[in-house]
């Protein structure tokens, strides 16, 4: 039996102590005020009960000099149970550990610990139950009744839990495992998007009856019949709709001088209704029968398999809506984000119950700032600022790392998981096949989910360089890195906070955020900026070094305005030239690593391209920005001309319209919300500067694909490349090899690019 280690954290009573407690982060435990022994302190009795009932190992008080890394060694392979005053979801401490955590908390009262099993904790308990690693009667604490690990969750006192019984179908449990492992559906997301024909309790009872009657041995046909009898196909939870402010014929794009691009802009504008959805009345009336999380306003979806809201897509979609003059729809999408924050304390990856263990790049502040710039709607800004504050509190509490020498915390993507992602269940099981220990599997699944939280799922950026799985999904280590893009986004949020508070006349708040922005900017410079290379890079917390490799996310500080005093944007221009990415004909690639992952070479993506272009523009690199924009717009338009479709990603290493982007866990998706939004915004920025000339061919004369000599899949890369591309690749390979030697990070062979 695994013995739990029970930790009990309590903030200082003083105001300064409370401030220190809220600033406690991953690097050190020096600000944690107490780690009590059995029986000590105001809450000694219930903690003592829990420790005694669970036969717990219990550690001594943490001294200021003890780092969390040393504490981790003591708790290796154990279940860590944390008691909190208040809601544990918003406490910073329990995310410092890589072992499975059961964090319990509740009302902030002095009468005892009021505990709740939230949807975040239940999957971990369920995993322990199903694997028979029992901790009998572990939590003999008042107001947490009749919980016996290894038996069944009995949580009658928790009033909100019945509405979350759907998590036992969509997020965890034997039904989910059976369906996903049976390959009933090619895409695991299909099942978790299906609606229930009955309430969750009935479906679970039906499932228990089937398991009992068959002794757990049933054919795929029997399982398929069960799914047919208890589930409806995806789609009934959403309705197609036309935005109220959509007008098919508008004059917004008349200033685009090139007639080809002007017509294209109108065509893309007309696609908004095809991507617009609203939550059906069925979901509003009976939410527990759906995995969808209801929101009040219509919204634009990405397209394809992505039927719902996705957090960071929303910003780039909003930019396109603003270009189309659809201010009401843009505001409604921002309001939907606020609705999710007020209900869940943060914006999940998407509005599905199975996304509630993670967020995505926090771009709500950027979206509100863009909306305000376009509309000057101060009343809405006043209303929305509370959402921004609440989201910032969530990221400060759950995603930060602090070291004594830093002026401000830095941020990482970090998810605690107790199983595979429901929407990619089989893929995650396969990624963890080589891991024998359940707790290590959970750690890996958490890092895979954290990579999804980054929006960059997946890339060798997140992979490790050690062990038999080096450079593969099984080595994912997202939580060990401080990403440039995440930190730049949050630093930019602080800058925008100051601007927005100034706009509404709250000058004290504005001054406070300007001070925080300055402190974080300085910390980013100290930790992420490499003076020799002239660029920002992700920071490796394990090896204590920057990872000096090209990624299209290295440039987010430009748009966020998080540059240090004396910064010269020519350094970025020189870096882009040095690594050779300016030589690719279709735009900027995600990386220079050939891996088969969709966020690696040769794929380029709209969001990071947009951020780079506008970051360069902000620092006077107009010509370089226009060059990148021209390549990206041409690539998108060429594919549109030959397919009539817009895609989520593009192969930027070739001009050819017959070579699709590839890689990843699913087929290439078209639609596509953020791609459309970025193109509309860029066409309006460069309305009289970009042109599709009349003699641009619909095929590329020197392209083997166009001459019919090569398959049209992304893996078919010609052996012969133009000398200028070859030279660029050699330069990037040399840089990558040097970085590998310096930081022990795996670097694959550099790619070859098609002319």
Helix/strand/coil for 532? coil
Rounded Cα gap, residues 749 and 167, in angstroms? 42
Indicate if 445 and 459 belong to the same structural domain. yes
Express each pLDDT in 579-613 by its tens digit: 999 999 999 999 999 999 999 999 999 999 999 99
| Residues with catalytic function | 457, 648
Each residue's pLDDT tens digit, 637-692: 999 998 899 999 999 998 877 666 655 554 555 679 999 999 999 999 999 999 99
Look at residue 275 and tell me if it is in a domain: yes
Domain shared by 199 and 339, yes or no:
no
Residue 342 scores a pLDDT above 80: yes
Same domain, 633 and 729: yes
Q: Is residue 311 part of a domain?
A: yes
CA distance 287 to 402: 40
Flag the least confident range among 66-80, 180-194, 331-345, 577-591: 66-80
pLDDT single digits (tens) 126-140: 444 343 333 322 332
- DSSP assignment of 27-40 equals SB-TT----PPTT-
Packed helices 311-323 and 606-618: angle between N→C axes, nearest 10 degrees:
60
CB atoms within 10 A of CB 34: 16
720 lies in the same domain as 581: yes
pLDDT higher for 163 or 381?
381
pLDDT digits (tens, 9 = 90+) for 483-515: 999 999 999 999 999 999 999 999 999 999 999
413-427 tens-digit pLDDT: 999 988 999 999 999
Cβ contact 352:307 at 8 Å: no
CA distance 317 to 328: 13
The residue among 134, 157, 180 that closes a domain is: 157
Residues 602 and 697 reside in one and the same domain: yes
Distance, CA of 37 to CA of 7 (rounded, Å): 9
> Considering only 168-172, 312-316, 573-577, which range has the smallest mean pLDDT?
168-172
The angle at the Cα of 421, spanning 415 to 425, to the nearest 5 degrees, equals 155
User: What pLDDT score does 671 carry?
Assistant: 76
Q: Phi first, then psi: give them for residue 350, nearest 5 degrees.
A: -155, 170
Domain boundary among 127, 157, 187: 157
| Cα 42 from Cα 35, distance rounded (Å) | 13
Domain endpoint, select from 133, 157, 181: 157
In this predicted structure, what is the pLDDT of residue 702? 56
Greatest distance between any 2 Cα atoms in the chain: 83
pLDDT tens for each residue of 551-584: 999 999 999 999 999 999 999 999 999 999 999 9
Structure-token pair, residue 304: 């394809």
Identify the pLDDT of residue 664.
54
61 found inside a domain:
yes
Residue 479 — pLDDT band, cuts 50, 70, 90? very high
Do residues 198 and 311 share a domain? no
Token output for 440: 């290590």
CB 410 within 8 A of CB 562: no
Is the confidence at residue 323, as pLDDT, over 60? yes
Q: Which two tokens stand for residue 579?
A: 């690594």
H helices present in 454-569, as ranges:
484-503, 507-528, 556-560
Nearby residues of 679 by Cβ (< 8 Å), 6 or more positions away: 264, 265, 268, 320, 606, 633, 636, 646
Question: Domain for residue 79, yes or no?
Answer: yes
710 pLDDT higher than 70: no
Q: Of 122-126, 159-163, 312-316, 667-671, where does mean pLDDT reach its minimum?
A: 159-163
Residue 127 backbone phi and psi in degrees, to 5: -60, -40
Total count of domains within the chain = 5
Same domain, 180 and 71: no
- Residue 398, helix vs strand vs coil: helix
Provide the percentage of residues in the chain whose pLDDT is more than 90.
64
Please indicate, yes or no, if residue 504 is contained in any of the structural domains. no
User: Residue 115: pLDDT above 60?
Assistant: no
- How sure is the predictor about 693, in pLDDT bands with cuts at 50, 70 and 90? confident
- Judged by DSSP in three states, 549 sits in coil
Q: Is residue 282 part of a domain?
A: yes
Domain assignment present for 408: no
Mean pLDDT over 687-699 rounds to 76
Domain that includes residue 705, residue range = 570-755
* Range in 35-39, 434-438, 496-500 the model is least confident about: 35-39
How many whole angstroms separate alpha carbon 540 and alpha carbon 742? 12
Angle formed by the axes of helices 622-643 and 259-269, nearest 10°: 70
Name which of 443-447, 511-515, 563-567, 744-748 the model is least confident about. Answer: 744-748
66 in any annotated domain: yes
Strand, coil or helix: what is 419? coil
């Amino acid at each position: 039996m695994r013995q739990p280690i029970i930790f009990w954290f309590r903030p200082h009573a003083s105001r300064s102590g409370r401030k220190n407690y809220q600033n406690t982060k991953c690097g050190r435990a020096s600000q944690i005020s107490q780690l009590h022994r059995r029986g000590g302190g105001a809450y000694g009795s219930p903690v003592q009960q829990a420790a005694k009932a669970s036969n717990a190992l219990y550690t001594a008080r943490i001294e200021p000099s003890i780092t969390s890394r040393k504490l981790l060694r003591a708790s290796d392979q154990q279940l860590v149970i944390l008691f909190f005053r208040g809601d544990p979801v918003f406490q910073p401490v329990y995310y410092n550990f890589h072992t499975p955590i059961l964090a319990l908390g509740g009302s902030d009262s002095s009468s005892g610990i009021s505990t709740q099993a939230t949807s975040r904790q239940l999957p971990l308990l369920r995993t322990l139950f199903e694997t028979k690693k029992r901790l009998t009667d572990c939590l003999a604490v008042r107001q947490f009744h009749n919980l016996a690990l290894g038996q069944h969750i009995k949580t009658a006192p928790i009033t909100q839990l019945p509405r979350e019984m759907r998590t036992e179908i969509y997020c965890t449990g034997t039904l989910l495992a059976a369906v996903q492992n049976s390959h009933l559906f090619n895409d695991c997301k299909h099942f978790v998007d299906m609606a229930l024909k009955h309430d969750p309790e009935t479906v679970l009872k039906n499932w228990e009856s089937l398991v009992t009657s068959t002794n757990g041995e049933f054919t795929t046909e029997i399982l398929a019949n069960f799914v047919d009898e208890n589930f409806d196909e995806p789609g009934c939870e959403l309705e197609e709709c036309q935005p109220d402010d959509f007008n098919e014929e508008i004059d917004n794009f008349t200033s685009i001088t090139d007639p080809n691009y002007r017509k294209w802009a109108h065509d893309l504008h007309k696609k908004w209704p095809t991507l617009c959805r609203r939550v059906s009345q069925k979901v509003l009336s009976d939410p527990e029968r759906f995995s969808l999380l209801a929101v009040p306003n219509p919204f634009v979806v990405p397209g394809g398999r992505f039927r719902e809201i996705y957090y960071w897509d929303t910003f780039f979609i909003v930019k396109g809506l603003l270009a189309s003059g659809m201010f009401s729809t843009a505001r409604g999408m921002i309001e939907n984000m606020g609705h999710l924050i007020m209900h869940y304390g943060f914006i999940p990856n998407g509005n599905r119950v199975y996304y509630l263990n993670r967020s995505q790049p926090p771009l709500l502040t950027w979206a509100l700032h863009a909306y305000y710039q376009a509309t000057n709607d101060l009343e809405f800004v006043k209303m929305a600022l509370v959402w921004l504050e609440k989201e910032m509190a969530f990221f400060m509490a759950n995603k930060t790392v602090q070291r004594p020498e830093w002026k401000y915390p830095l941020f990482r993507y970090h998810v605690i998981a107790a199983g595979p992602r429901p929407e990619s269940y089989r893929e995650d099981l396969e990624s963890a096949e080589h891991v024998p220990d359940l707790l290590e599997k959970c750690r890996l699944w958490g890092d895979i989910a954290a990579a999804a939280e980054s929006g960059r799922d997946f890339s060798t950026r997140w992979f490790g360089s050690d062990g038999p799985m080096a450079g593969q999904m099984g080595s994912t280590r997202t939580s060990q890195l401080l990403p440039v893009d995440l930190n730049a986004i949050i630093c930019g949020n602080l800058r925008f906070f100051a601007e927005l508070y100034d706009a509404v006349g709250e000058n004290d708040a504005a001054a406070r955020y300007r001070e925080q922005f300055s402190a974080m900017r300085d910390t980013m410079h100290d930790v992420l900026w490499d003076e020799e290379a002239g660029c920002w890079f992700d920071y490796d917390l394990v090896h204590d070094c920057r990872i000096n490799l090209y990624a299209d996310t290295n440039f987010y500080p430009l748009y966020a305005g998080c540059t240090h005093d004396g910064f010269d944007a020519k350094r970025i221009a020189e870096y882009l030239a040095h690594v050779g990415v300016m030589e690719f004909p279709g735009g900027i690639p995600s990386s220079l690593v050939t891996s088969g992952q969709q966020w690696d070479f040769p794929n380029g993506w709209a969001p990071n391209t947009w951020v780079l272009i506008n970051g360069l523009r902000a620092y006077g690199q107009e010509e370089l920005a226009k060059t990148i924009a021209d390549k990206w717009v041409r690539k998108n338009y060429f594919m549109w001309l030959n397919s009539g479709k817009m895609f989520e990603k593009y192969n930027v290493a070739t001009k050819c319209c017959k070579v699709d982007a590839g890689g990843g866990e699913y087929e290439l998706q078209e639609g596509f919300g953020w791609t459309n939004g970025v193109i509309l915004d860029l066409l309006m920025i460069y309305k009289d500067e970009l042109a599709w000339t009349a003699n641009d061919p619909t095929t590329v004369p020197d392209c083997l694909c166009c001459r019919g000599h090569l398959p049209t899949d992304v893996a078919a890369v010609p052996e012969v490349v133009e000398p200028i591309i070859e030279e660029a690749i050699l330069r990037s390979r040399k840089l990558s090899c040097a970085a590998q030697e310096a930081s022990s990070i795996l670097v694959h062979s550099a790619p070859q690019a098609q002319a």
